[in-house]
Chain A
Amino acid sequence: MTSTVLKAKGLSKWYDDVIGINSLNIEIATGITGIVGPNGAGKSTIFKLATGMIKPNKGRISVLGEDPWLNGPLMRKIGFCPDYDNLSDYSDGKRFLRYVGSLHGLRDKELDKRVSKTAELVGAEDFLNKDIEKYSKGMRQRLKLAGALIHDPDLLLLDEPLSGADPEARRDLIELIKGLHEEKGHDVLVSSHVLNEIERMTSSIALIYKGRVIASGDIAEIRELMDEHPQHIVLEGKNKKGLVKELIEMEQVLSITFEEGRKRIVIEVEKADVFFNVIPSLIKNTGAEIFEMYSMDDNLQAVFDYLVGGKR
């Protein structure tokens, strides 16, 4: 197997006058890699290009060393889980898996064995024979994942596999995806618009924004990049007067804003990692009672705002 599972150079795809992917350059190594970007960033277009479903207008893409366009045999090595489901044509999960397995050439006992193995792998064995219309979103996601795994592919392409799933299902799916690489050796390319979810699966990410890769590499590096920019930290609680005094003295604190009748304070800080190291002892020493602390910028849009600066 190659050490690069996906490589794109100058890759562009547009739909009439709408740009899906814009001169995208990316090299994705083996392991789990997260493609992170807001809705409409071009994540699904990358997956469609990688599965040969659409043809690039410019540039090149290779998956497992091969051009995916009109390359049916390559699909034997790829398992694709799209971001939407098309399960309505099947009465139960087993029928869906049997059909998908048949499309890969599995027959008879071989097919039965793979269906039950894959269902077991994704934790779908309990509801496999149930009416598909009664499936929850999490069940549907598991079934789709099973459909992508049925032929035991080398590379899994998972487009928003956690979308719509409840927190418990998300946790299970994240563990499953991690296990698919760590225990099964599948390489996984997974997309999400939620950075935290990807962070729980892998440290290797690529940030996509408006059809371009704006940052890629280890998530810690992305975090470092974020730390170079001011972040907004929210503190909610009581007895914060002493704490606020101390915060004002801190070099990293740029401003403090009171909200909701002083119940909530928003602190603009630079070098957030230093701030987070210091804040627990400050809270303890000043006797403040903090119920909740979170970063307003710990969402993807804020990251993109930082990374693209004023170019948006």
Chain B
Amino acid sequence: MGIDPIEYTVWKDKKTPFRKRFLVISEKIFRKKLRSKAIWILLVIGYFLVHVFTISSAPFYPPEELTKELILYGEGTLTGEPYLKGGLFFIFTILLVSVVSSDIMSQDIRENSFVLYFSRPLRTVDYISGKIFGGLSIMSLYCAIPPILVGISVIATQTGDNYLGSLQILGLTIVAGIFTSFLYLPYAVLLSSLTERKAYSGIGTFMTFFVLTIVSELFTTFDPNWKLIGPENLLHFSYDVIYGIGLPEDVNLGLYIIAMIALIILPLMALYIRIRRKEVEG
């Protein structure tokens, strides 16, 4: 077998070992998920049921300007149905996050692909960030891009001249879209890191959010703060914060912060510990 000289030697300490390396993992997840039929089915149905009418209503039913009421409650749109605060938007969000994250780490556990990553110049944080950003990129196709398109279509056809106000709402919509894409991922990815089976991970994620929503609805009659264990309510309260509306009066700010920490920070910490332990277990 011929052995040819390697003309190129890569590492001479000129490049940083870590910077932006996680994007390679994200890109792979994005490409892989785009080849998934389940993802496409969810995206197509979700777009049709949730986004299409709102996006396309603006040219036929031009509003005066882009408002938070339009984005959140669909006020002034053709259908008049709640948009970001609509139940269908939430259901498709948790369905999508369940499918997107189902094998995001469970496959690595099943195939022991950790070796592929951790025998390279990557840190645990790079690995987790790569996976989360990969999931976020797919989630944003449903949670962020359509609301932004709604905002753009409204601004393009608006009858009033308050473009600055509309652009401000558009900016907040971008923030809300990215936030929605991210909100449920830490928990969903954590579940994926706990099992080798993607079905367990996917169904577990969906059922957790679904059951919490039901429990929240049931117990809210006793105390309004029970709303805070409902993932849908947390999303809606977060929209209120992002759009400057403020939390509803009957919701405790401290408990809201604790609930957000429980949904985002604790799963991320648990995920970090889990991956480090998995590395140690080999």
Chain A residues with CB under 8 Å of chain B are 15, 45, 48, 51-55, 70, 72-73, 75-78, 80, 82, 84, 86, 88-89, 99-100, 102-106, 110, 113-114, 117-118, 120-121, 123, 151-152, 172, 175-176, 179-180, 183-184
Query: Is there a chain A Cβ closer than 8 Å to B120's Cβ?
Result: yes
Q: By the criterion CB–CB under 8 Å, are A72 and B8 in contact?
A: no
Q: By the criterion CB–CB under 8 Å, are B118 and A52 in contact?
A: yes
> Taking CB as reference atom, which chain B residue is nearest A178?
B3
Query: Is there a chain A Cβ closer than 8 Å to B272's Cβ?
Result: no
Q: Which residues of A contact B119 (CB under 8 A)?
A: 51, 53, 75, 78, 80, 82
Q: By the criterion CB–CB under 8 Å, are B6 and A121 in contact?
A: yes
Query: Is there a chain A Cβ closer than 8 Å to B24's Cβ?
Result: yes
Q: By the criterion CB–CB under 8 Å, are A179 and B10 in contact?
A: no
Q: By the criterion CB–CB under 8 Å, are B21 and A73 in contact?
A: no
Q: By the criterion CB–CB under 8 Å, are B6 and A73 in contact?
A: no
Query: Is there a chain A Cβ closer than 8 Å to B11's Cβ?
Result: yes
Q: By the criterion CB–CB under 8 Å, are B114 and A99 in contact?
A: no
Q: By the criterion CB–CB under 8 Å, are B1 and A53 in contact?
A: no
Instruction: Write out, one digit per residue, whether chain B residues 101-112 have a CB within 8 A of any chain A CB (1) or not (0).
Output: 000000100011
Query: Is there a chain A Cβ closer than 8 Å to B116's Cβ?
Result: yes
Q: By the criterion CB–CB under 8 Å, are A179 and B3 in contact?
A: yes
Q: Which residues of B contact A53 (CB under 8 A)?
A: 114-115, 118-119, 279, 282
Q: By the criterion CB–CB under 8 Å, are A54 and B279 in contact?
A: yes
Chain B residues with CB under 8 Å of chain A are 1-11, 15, 17-18, 21, 24-25, 27-28, 32, 107, 111-123, 279-282
Q: Which residues of B contact A123 (CB under 8 A)?
A: 1
Q: How far is the CA of A270 from the CA of B113 in the complex (A)?
A: 48
> Taking CB as reference atom, which chain B residue is nearest A183?
B3
Q: How far is the CA of A89 from the CA of B104 in the complex (A)?
A: 12
Q: A110-B8, A120-B4 are in contact. Are A86 and B17 (CB under 8 A)?
A: no
Q: How far is the CA of A75 from the CA of B119 in the complex (A)?
A: 6
Q: By the criterion CB–CB under 8 Å, are A175 and B1 in contact?
A: yes
> Taking CB as reference atom, which chain A residue is nearest B15?
A105
Q: Which residues of A contact B24 (CB under 8 A)?
A: 99, 102-103
Q: Which residues of B contact A77 (CB under 8 A)?
A: 11
Q: By the criterion CB–CB under 8 Å, are A176 and B1 in contact?
A: yes
30 A-B residue pairs with CB within 8 Å: A51-B118, A53-B119, A54-B281, A54-B282, A72-B121, A72-B122, A73-B17, A75-B17, A76-B17, A76-B121, A82-B115, A82-B119, A86-B111, A89-B111, A89-B113, A103-B21, A103-B24, A104-B120, A105-B121, A114-B8, A117-B6, A120-B4, A121-B3, A121-B6, A151-B10, A152-B8, A152-B9, A152-B10, A176-B1, A184-B3
Q: How far is the CA of A121 from the CA of B10 in the complex (A)?
A: 16
B216 shortest CB reach to chain A, Å: 38
Q: A53-B114, A86-B113, A121-B6 are in contact. Are A48 and B1 (CB under 8 A)?
A: no
Q: CB < 8 Å: which of A72, A110, A121 contacts B18?
A: A72
> Taking CB as reference atom, which chain A residue is nearest B10?
A151
